[in-house]
Amino acid sequence: MSGQRIVVVGGSGKVALRFTQLARTTYTISSLVRNESHFGAIQGAGGTPRLLSIEDATVGDLKSEFDGARGVLFAAGAGGKGGKDRTRKVDEEGAIKVFDAIEQLTGAKPYLVLVGALDTRDTSKSPPAHYTREDIEGSKRAHEAIGAYYDAKLAADQNLSRRTSFPWTILRPGHLLDEEPKGTVTAGKTGMGGVTRGDVASSILALFNLALSPSTTSDADKPKASGLAIDVVQGKGTDKPVEEAIGEAVERGESSLDSKAPETPWILHYNLRWLFGDLVAGITVGLVLVPQAMSYARIATLPLEYGLYSSFVGVMIYALFATSKDVTIGPVAVMSLEVARVISHVHSTSGGAQYSAPEIATALAFLCGLIVLGIGLLRIGWLIEFIPSPAISAFMTGSALNIAVGQLPSLMGYSSKLNTRSETYKVIINSLKHLPDTKLDAAFGLSGLAFLYIVRYVIQRTERRARNPSVKRIAFFALTLRTAFVIVILTVASWVFLRRKDPQDFPISVLKDVPSGFQHMGQPKLPTDLLSKIAPQLPVSTIILLLEHIAIAKSFGRVNNYKIDPNQELIAIGVSNLVGTVFNAYPATGSFSRSAIKAKAGVRTPLAGWFTGVCVVVALYALTSAFYWIPSAALSAVIIHAVLDLIASPKQVYAFWKVSPIEAVIFFIAVFVSVFATIEIGIYTSVGASVALLLFRIARPRGAFLGRVRIRPDVQLPPSRDEQEEGTSSGMLSPYPVLPGRDVYLPLLPDGVRNPLVQVEAPPPGVIVFRFEESFLYPNAAYYADMIVEYAHKHTRPNDQLDNVRAGDRPWNNPGALPWRRRKAASTPEEQAAADKPILRAVVFDMSSCSNIDTTSVQNLVDLKRTLERYAGDQVQFHFATILSPFIKRALLAGGFGTGKGWSGPERPLEIAPVVQAGMEPVMTEHAKRLQRLHFQRRFFPGSPMSGTPRKLADEKEDEGVREAREEREGVRHEDLEAALAEVGQQGMHLGGSVWGHQVPGHEEPNVEQPVLSTSFPRFHLDLTSAVSAAVGRDDW
């Protein structure tokens, strides 16, 4: 782990200094302080001081400091100086700036440890359940004494608890003691107490060791401690060694921070303006939800009131756990179709007919809610990321087609004459056959459907052309409420038409009686036999429940500039469905159409869901008598209008094709299967094909053999003042600044990206440059190795020619030509060309795209080297450029690579890694300079011996004759070395390539430099240029 950098914010504090002393042997520590007077203490502790005040720093300043770091420790604090204002500025605002800076970093983000304070909590709530009476009294005294400090810490903790884009842990020590460290602590959920500063520092180091240890498989993996708040005290009688105590607390997942109620931060700021926005949005969604809920209950083959039950529970419970203000939970078309399929499946099994449709739907909600809740609590919501957008769009399109086609018979009035649950293509054929059976229902259904589309077209056009904001607002609400309008209009028409007719002889189908209130509320019936019959259908049901909601929540979060926590969203869905079983509700998830309405209506907080719930309750208790007269065809029109918007548009499908034709093919196949088979098979097809494509891309990745292209900057000379006045310019290339060309490495074969007219120069004979374009893992290890062996056989020759070897002495896998086909004449041009091929000397690997490596791939690399050395008959050097991770470096070293030793004999390193400014001249000692000479000599003298401790240092007496003999043997003259070092001292800043500061005006300051990479591993290189130069044996080839 050596070399991983940790940035300490507030590095001059006592805890921070103790941490620096402990961590300096394992990590590189950069400490940010606000005063240069602290530099000496930080350097003495083993850290590198950086001058930056957390009070004055911008997010951009902090972002620059954090770039490339693996960890960040926030240990800053006002320390009681400056009063309440400074406490808030440092402990709250300073911490939030650090969070923002980490969040804005691109690529892998560092792991943050925030040093908080024990008992940081909202004192208006009850104390934690594990507090004793003494703890409660101590807590009261502490908050009375330093209330401002706790307020700032609470605000920082709550802000951090909402961050999900980077890993973090809050360490909350008790009151700090200046005693000698004891080496033991109690960690997790603790009561009040104290702890020594040294043991707090050890606890911080234990957290970093857990997070940054080699067991982490990739930078994308979050540490187990991520998202936890861990209390640390001593003297509780349960103290254990620090690492053990911290490790056990992390394994238990114990957190003293209540992150399961994310409404706390915003609910404390709730105001009348937010209330108005939530009221308008909630009522607007409620007016849409009521008719949709009853329509979707029809799709689920359930009585209409069950759709209203699901609507009420979804919007009420979700508001308590939501991390999205826009999403609205309730019945949706695709999930309703899945519920109908599960009900049909259970009824078709032996003994399944004894269970009613509502009982099956409620049991399904229970099982799905339990699974989704478990996924959220286990924080494995990332699993759904394996299902790509085209697969989601495919099953949504297939489901929408199935629903729309299934509602067509009801729209026309002959739904009783065919099975609308058959395959989609069969329903289409049968619907066309029964067109002559169309009834009066079509007058209501078709007119309602036409009304919905015409009104949408007219209002959308009006809204686009309107310039008055008030007109746009009115148009939006008219567009949103068109569904409610059409239901009201058709219901009134139905009542006028049917009120004097016998209910037994109604010419059209109406809903009739809808029970009022929550008549079915109570303990759900969950017999084991029913649960076992539903279990085989759970994978598809759970996938639908997860995917639709998370996709919607992420989409609205991006549009409206806030972040959602996928795991918290899964917890919200799970709890909503579990609570819904008490109301006999069926599975509910996020609705895209209603969420879009809610967002555009001006929703301000998740509390808007409660106003929607009130609308549902009013409908259940006050409007059920009016529901009697709603035409069934009207609900079918509403369903068809809603689900047709779920079908992927031609523009979207064309975008799939342009981005990835293979994924577009998967989309079409999944839709085809959904139409001609079942939705379940369609989902399995799309998901399975997507996973298979992912595995194929990993197992058969692209790799490229590279060559060199030399490029130069095209700098235009700015016109002079005279030329500007005359309006002319020479247009000649500027001779200033003098910037040399540089080498870039491109694929030898045209790749469709670069200009095909550019000539790529192949590496020198006997050198292969290969770039990995995927992680080097066990699925593709053999494939990559075979690519390199095949290329080596094609472009190089074996050292041991077998042409003159007797047949009995030749290997079985290379027996040569058959005796009667052997030619005795002179060799052909092809044979002569093969004989002129070079012998393989080195392979250079570009690791810039390889983020992971494993045991199998390292073993394949070892076997590859042995195979190539047997083929070449001599040692083949392996060089590695741009290694991305210390774990990759560790794995390669374990395989015997990097050092140039351990294969066919010792190798002489040819160059040192490129160097950058270190800025350490003011603190360099003579001993440090002597060690630096050892590092730099290989840069200027490629033939110098391997690194190691020199026998004689400059200040030791050495006989002149002995020194001259040693220099002749080593190939390094002392005078030349001193002259080279003097040149480095006056070169100034390194500007790139071979350009130094003394070559460009304004950058002439003296500069002392040090290696970027360790010289102990001469086969590991900072970039591809230095790696190829080392393999070739000279800088310019």
| Residue 944 or residue 860, greater confidence | 860
Out of 53-57, 534-538, 947-951, give the one with best mean pLDDT: 534-538
Q: How confident is the model at residue 827 (pLDDT cuts 50, 70, 90)?
A: low
Report whether 883 contacts 1020 (CB < 8 A): yes
Measuring CA to CA, which residue among 354, 449, 357, 361 is closest to residue 407? Answer: 449
Contacts of 866 (CB under 8 A, 6+ apart): none
To the nearest whole number, what is the mean pLDDT of the chain?
Answer: 81
pLDDT of residue 220: 40
Burial group, residue 735, by CB count within 10 angstroms (0-12, 13-18, 19+)? exposed
Residue 236 or 970, more confident = 236
Does position 611 have pLDDT exceeding 50, yes or no?
Answer: yes
Structure token pair of residue 236: 């509780």
CB 147 within 8 A of CB 122: no
Residue 715 pLDDT class (50, 70, 90 cuts): low
Report, as an integer, the average pLDDT of 20-44.
90
Burial label, 926 (beta-carbon count in 10 A; 0-12, 13-18, 19+): exposed
Measured from the Cβ of residue 10, the count of other Cβ atoms closer than 10 Å reads 22
More confident residue, 330 or 955: 330
What does the alpha-carbon distance between residue 381 and residue 322 come to, in Å, rounded to a whole number? Answer: 15
Query: Is residue 214 scored above 70 in pLDDT?
Result: no
**Domain ranges in the chain with CATH number 3.40.50.720:** 5-259
pLDDT at 532: 94
Please compute the mean of the pLDDT values over residues 98-105 and round it to a whole number: 89
**Each residue's pLDDT tens digit, 375-409:** 989 888 788 888 888 888 888 898 889 889 999 99
Three-state SS at 842 = strand
Q: What confidence score (pLDDT) does residue 395 get? A: 82
pLDDT at 911 over 50: no
Mean pLDDT, residues 945-973: 43
pLDDT at 159: 86
Q: What is the pLDDT of residue 714?
A: 61
| 829 to 350, 437, 826, 832: CA distances (angstroms) | 78, 83, 9, 5
Q: How many of the other CB atoms lie within 10 Å of CB of 410?
A: 22
Q: What is the pLDDT of residues 401-438, one digit of tens each?
A: 988 999 999 999 998 888 888 889 999 999 999 999 99
Q: Could you give the angle at the alpha carbon of 637 between the alpha carbons of 635 and 639, nearest 5°?
A: 70
Tokens of 1017: 């591993």
SS3 136: helix
769-785 average pLDDT score: 94
Give the range with max mean pLDDT: 601-605, 930-934, 957-961: 601-605
- What is the reported pLDDT for 581? 93
End-to-end Cα distance, the chain: 36
- Of 202, 197, 199, nearest in space to 178 by CA: 197
Residue 920 pLDDT greater than 70, yes or no = no
pLDDT in tens, 286-301: 998 999 999 999 999 9
Q: What is the pLDDT of residue 25?
A: 87
pLDDT above 70 (res 164): yes
Query: Taking 50 as the threshold, does the pLDDT of residue 1002 lie above it?
Result: no
Enter the tokens of residue 914.
């490129």
User: Looking at residue 993, what is its pLDDT?
Assistant: 41
Give 983's pLDDT tier (boundaries 50, 70, 90).
very low
Instruction: Please report which confidence band the pLDDT of residue 1008 belongs to, taking 50, 70 and 90 as the band edges.
Output: very low
Report the distance separating Cα 339 and Cα 336, nearest Å.
5
Q: Is the peptide bond before 390 cis (omega within 30 degrees of 0)?
A: no
Q: What is the pLDDT of residue 222?
A: 55
Neighbours of 249 (CB within 10 A): 27
pLDDT of residue 60: 86
On whether the CB atoms of residues 48 and 29 are closer than 8 A, the answer is yes
Q: Residue 667 has what pLDDT?
A: 93
Instruction: Kindly report the pTM of this predicted structure.
Output: 0.62
Say what the pLDDT of residue 217 is. Answer: 38
How confident is the model at residue 725, as a pLDDT? Answer: 53
At 816 the pLDDT is 65
- Chain-centroid distance of CA 87 in Å reads 34
Q: What are phi and psi of 830, to 5 degrees?
A: -65, -40
Q: What is the pLDDT of residues 237-295, one digit of tens each?
A: 788 899 988 988 888 776 776 544 444 456 767 788 888 889 998 999 999 899 999 99
Q: Answer with the residue of higher pLDDT: 1001 or 127.
A: 127
Region 784-813: what's the mean pLDDT? 80
Model confidence at 219: pLDDT above 70: no
Task: Provide the pLDDT for residue 818.
Answer: 67
Q: What confidence category does residue 1023 fall into, taking pLDDT thresholds of 50, 70 and 90?
A: confident
What fold does the segment set 5-259 form as a domain? Rossmann fold (3.40.50)
State the pairing for strand pair 589-590/1009-1011: unpaired
Across 29-33, 697-701, 721-725, least confident range: 721-725
Report the range of poorest mean pLDDT among 61-70, 96-105, 551-560, 784-793. Answer: 551-560
What is the distance of C-alpha 73 from the center of its chain? 22
Tens-place pLDDT, residues 549-598: 887 887 777 666 667 788 888 999 999 999 999 999 999 998 888 888 88
Has residue 683 got a pLDDT over 60?
yes
